[in-house]
């Protein structure tokens, strides 16, 4: 009994120490965990995103159709030689890092910012080459302008060459969309498949 | 070890070949490795060539042009990014200093093939010719690669 009392008198310091450590750890973990789930979008882009309806080779496609799924939306064009195929390859490779059953909860959308040359059929086939879960969409120039504005995507035709061929400068972000259809992260075009897969997985859970 | 051997075989297989003009040795001092062409979806008329170019000589050389039998034109482009907006910038002259290696890679400098005469499929070999100052030409074959499953074209 006395011995018990003795220990009882000596322990509070280290018990308290451990208690504080555990508490501190829990608080910081909770903070870190909530931080992990909060949208990671620069202030300037905090309002971007929203639903849209554009056209694929199978008719109209709306972002609303992908509720419950996590996706990557990219603006590009089929004549783009470097960044667009690189980003789409990286998104495809990111999807391949998921099990087939998980892949059903993922989607990719390529929105053409070159509707004059990219018909819905052309951009759909182009996107599907990279992955069966990447949908290529186009629309009228007005529709594309409206969606680009929603996502704060800038694009500009460069001067055409003698053969009438031209390139476009364009925003190269990959917009990560959560199950509620919100933009929750912006990734640069140099993001690796691992980076993209990690972010998709975070929002899939 | 295996990887090193594969690299060596690949380098040999890439068959850097010199068709040259200036009886000088400039071409001997230039070498190409890790040359790949991006496979594109059928019907696309542009693609990009990626490679490493090393100048082992003691003088700077200037890359001033390029061509390929497979495309109407070939141009060196640099992907520039500013405030999340990417632009291609045509490079009319690229200096490779003595001892310098230049990497043509995704999202950076790349050789753009414009006006493809046919679809290129993974495994195909695309002939490419680089033109340097003093009429030096460097020819090499770049293998078409499907980047969807091995998207990382980096090699350094």
Average pLDDT over residues B70-89: 87
Looking at residue B15, what is its pLDDT?
43
Chain A's closest residue to B50, CA to CA, is A82
- Residues in chain A with CB shorter than 8 Å from the CB of B149 are 92-93, 96
pLDDT at B1: 43
A172:B81 CB<8 A: yes
User: Given CB atoms, is B72 within the 8 Å cutoff of chain A?
Assistant: yes
From A170's Cα to the closest Cα of chain B, the distance in A is 5
The region of weakest confidence among A129-138, A176-185, B60-69, B84-93 is B84-93
The minimum CA-CA distance between A10 and chain B, rounded to whole Å, is: 59
Q: Output the pLDDT for position A27.
A: 62
How far, in Å, CA of A60 to CA of A154, rounded? 24
Q: Which residue has the higher pLDDT, A188 or A30?
A: A188
Closest-CA distance of chain B to residue A35, Å: 24
Measured distance CA(A153)–CA(A172) in Å, rounded: 8
| Structural contact between residues B69 and B43, judged by C-beta atoms closer than 8 angstroms | no
A169:B42 CB<8 A: no
Mutate to test the interface with A, among B39, B73, B76, B85 (most CBs of A within 10 A): B85
* Residue A190: predicted pLDDT: 85
Give per-residue pLDDT as tens, A140-164.
999 999 999 999 999 988 888 887 8
CA-CA distance, B36 to B152, in Å (whole number)? 11
A149: left (phi over 0), alpha (psi -120 to 50) or beta: alpha
Ranges A21-30, A177-186, B12-21, most confident:
A177-186
- Residues A63-114 pLDDT 10s: 999 999 999 999 999 998 889 999 999 999 999 999 999 999 999 999 999 9
Q: State pLDDT tens for residues A14-31.
A: 677 777 777 766 666 555
Q: B132 CA to chain A: closest CA distance, Å?
A: 23
Q: What ipTM was predicted for this assembly?
A: 0.74
Percent with pLDDT over 70 in chain A? 86
Q: Supply the DSSP symbol for B9.
A: H
pLDDT attached to residue A131: 96
Indicate the residue of A129, A163, A167 with minimum beta-carbon distance to B41. Answer: A129
pLDDT at position B152, please? Answer: 52
Residue A149 has which token pair? 């504005």
Q: pLDDT digit string (tens) for B84-141?
A: 788 888 999 999 999 999 999 988 999 999 999 999 999 999 999 999 998 999 999 9
pLDDT class of B36 with cuts at 50, 70, 90: very high
Chosen for mutation from A84, A85, A129, A193 (greatest number of chain B CBs closer than 10 Å) is: A85
Q: What is the mean pLDDT of chain B?
A: 83
Report pLDDT for A161.
Answer: 83
The confidence score (pLDDT) of residue A93 equals 95
Quick one: closest CA in B to A157, which residue? B87
Contacts of A63 (CB under 8 A, 6+ apart): A50, A51, A52, A53, A109, A177, A181
pTM as predicted:
0.79
* pLDDT mean over B56-82: 93
pLDDT of residue B21: 39
Q: Name which of B89, B106, B151 to mutate to probe chain A: the one with the most chain A Cβ atoms within 10 A of its Cβ.
A: B151
CB A111 within 8 A of CB A146: no
3-state secondary structure chain A: CHHHHHHHHHCHHHHHHHHHHHHHHHHHHHHHHHHHHCCECCHHHCCCCCCCEEEECCEEEEHHHHCCCEEEEEEECCCCCCHHHHHHHHHHHHHCCCCHHHHCCEEEEEEECCCCCCCHHHHHHHHHHHCCCEEEEECCHHHHHHHHHHCCCCEEECCCCCCCCCCEEEECCEEEECCCCCEEEEECCCCCHHHHHHHHHHHHC
Tell me if chain A has a CB within 8 Å of the CB of B48.
yes
Residue B8 has pLDDT above 50, yes or no: no
Please report the residues numbered 161 through 200 in chain A whose beta carbons come closer than 8 angstroms to any beta carbon of chain B.
163, 165, 167, 169-173, 186, 188-190, 192-193
**pLDDT at position B153, please?**
47
């Amino acid at each position: 009994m006395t011995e018990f009392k003795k220990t009882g008198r000596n322990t509070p310091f280290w018990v308290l120490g451990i208690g504080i450590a555990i508490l501190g750890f829990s608080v910081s973990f909770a903070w870190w965990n909530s931080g992990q789930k909060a949208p990671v979008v620069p202030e300037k882009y905090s309002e971007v995103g929203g639903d849209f309806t554009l056209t694929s080779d199978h008719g109209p496609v709306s972002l609303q159709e992908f509720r419950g799924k996590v996706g990557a939306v990219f603006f590009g064009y089929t004549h783009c030689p470097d960044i667009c195929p690189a980003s789409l390859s990286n998104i495809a490779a990111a999807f391949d890092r998921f099990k087939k059953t998980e892949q059903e909860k993922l989607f990719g959308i390529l929105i053409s910012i070159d509707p004059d040359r990219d018909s819905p059929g052309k951009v759909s086939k182009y996107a599907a080459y990279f992955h069966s879960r990447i949908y290529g969409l186009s629309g009228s120039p007005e529709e594309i302008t409206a969606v680009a504005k929603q996502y704060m995507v800038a694009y500009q035709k460069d001067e055409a060459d003698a053969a009438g061929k031209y390139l476009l400068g364009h925003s190269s972000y990959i917009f990560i969309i959560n199950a509620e259809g919100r933009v929750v992260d912006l990734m640069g075009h140099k993001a690796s498949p691992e980076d993209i897969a990690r972010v998709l997985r975070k929002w899939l859970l | 070890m295996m990887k090193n051997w594969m690299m060596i075989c690949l380098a040999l297989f890439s068959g850097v070949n010199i068709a040259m003009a200036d009886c000088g040795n400039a071409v001997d001092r230039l070498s190409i490795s890790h040359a790949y062409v991006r496979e594109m979806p059928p019907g696309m008329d542009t693609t990009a060539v990626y490679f490493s170019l090393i100048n082992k000589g003691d003088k700077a050389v200037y890359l001033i042009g390029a061509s390929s039998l497979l495309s109407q034109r070939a141009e060196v482009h640099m992907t520039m990014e500013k405030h999340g907006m990417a632009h291609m910038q045509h490079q009319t002259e690229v200096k490779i200093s003595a001892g310098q290696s230049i990497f043509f890679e995704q999202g950076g400098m790349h050789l753009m093939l414009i006006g493809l005469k046919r679809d290129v499929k993974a495994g195909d070999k695309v002939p490419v010719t680089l033109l340097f100052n003093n009429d030096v030409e460097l020819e090499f074959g770049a293998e078409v690669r499907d980047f969807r499953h091995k998207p990382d074209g980096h090699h350094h």
